[in-house]
Structure 1
Amino acid sequence: MPRFSQKQYEGRVLVAMALYTLCMLVEWPLVRTVVTLPLKCLLALVPVLPMIYVIVLMARRIRESDELERQMHLIGLGISTAVVGAASLIGGFLSVANVLKLDGSILIWVFPGLMFCYGLARWQVARRYGMGAFCESDAGASKYALFVLAGGVLLLVAWLGRATLDGVRSGFLCGAGAGLMALGAALFVAQRRRRARSGE
């Protein structure tokens, strides 16, 4: 069975995230207009499907990694679970004590929070082992371009839909787009510095 490469993983994750964004822009607004409970539940859960696919992809990527990569993945996942779990516990206690007013919509941010903390933790662990967050030969040379392109697409969608998008969706698109473009720029600068140090 051929190894599941970083390039294959990233391509499939990008497709899943594009489907998720499309669901949030096109399908999610219909949830508020539907009155029948079964259809409302079905429409509300459609955006979850691409995220479940991303989780399956992550599990496959970790399973097919070598021992060192697997250890870095699992340490990153452990740290992110602890951080998000502690933040959820603190938020829960503050909400029960009526210090914070939190509703159920906060749960939507648990998975993105886990992924963000996982990425940071895995990057720190990889640096400790003297590696990048991914193998350069496996990931391809223009990774930064994918992030810049994805961020640009989100910002373009936000601009084109500015007349019809509500504040939450517009803010989500602008924030995610700007974040992806900033990450792409940071990867570009890091790649240039690496090449300058190695004398390429």
Structure 2
Amino acid sequence: MQTENIQQIGLEKRIAIIMIFWGAGSFLLGFFNIFSLIPRPLFGVLIALILLGLIFIYQTKPSFKAFSDSIPLKGITLFHVWRIFAGWIFISYTGKLSETFIHNAAYGDIISGSLAASVFVFGRTKLNYYIFNIIGLLDFIIAVGTGVFLTITGNNEMAPIIQLPLILIPLFGVPLSGFTHFISLSRLLKMKDKKLSEMIE
């Protein structure tokens, strides 16, 4: 038991260190405007690779899967409240950022973040978690799809997305949001014997 606790603490430390370097790396890439020096489509590819990498590790590394599954659904849901602020930041770039992207991403983020907060108002039930995750995931797909499409097609109005402070949203927040939607829905789908009205931690 003590050995398992030590291993768990070691895993948590490694994840914390990775998160720190990931966040710092995202900041530095934006600070030095690195993505203006390479083909812009690579930016979308990098985001997709980070997300797929997280899902791959989750599926293949039992220790990481156990750690991810130990995070309460309420904690994961509360994390998504950040999307309200992301949406307002996008709106503040009206006139500088693609109107199509703002329309498809900003308002959906505000709705998704508000739904995450509403779970705590209307009750942490399986149904409410489902509603939030499904709508939040749809918004995620539409927003990321729009951003990748506009970036690949060379839309110059997407230039701010690869610069500070906006770069932190797609490079750091987006993969985490997509990954947490994935693990939340995976866990909800396994709760087939649970009643919809049953509270879920």
TM over 0.5: no
Name the TM-score, length of structure 1 as normaliser. Answer: 0.32
Which of the two has higher C-alpha Rg?
1
Name the TM-score, length of structure 2 as normaliser. Answer: 0.31
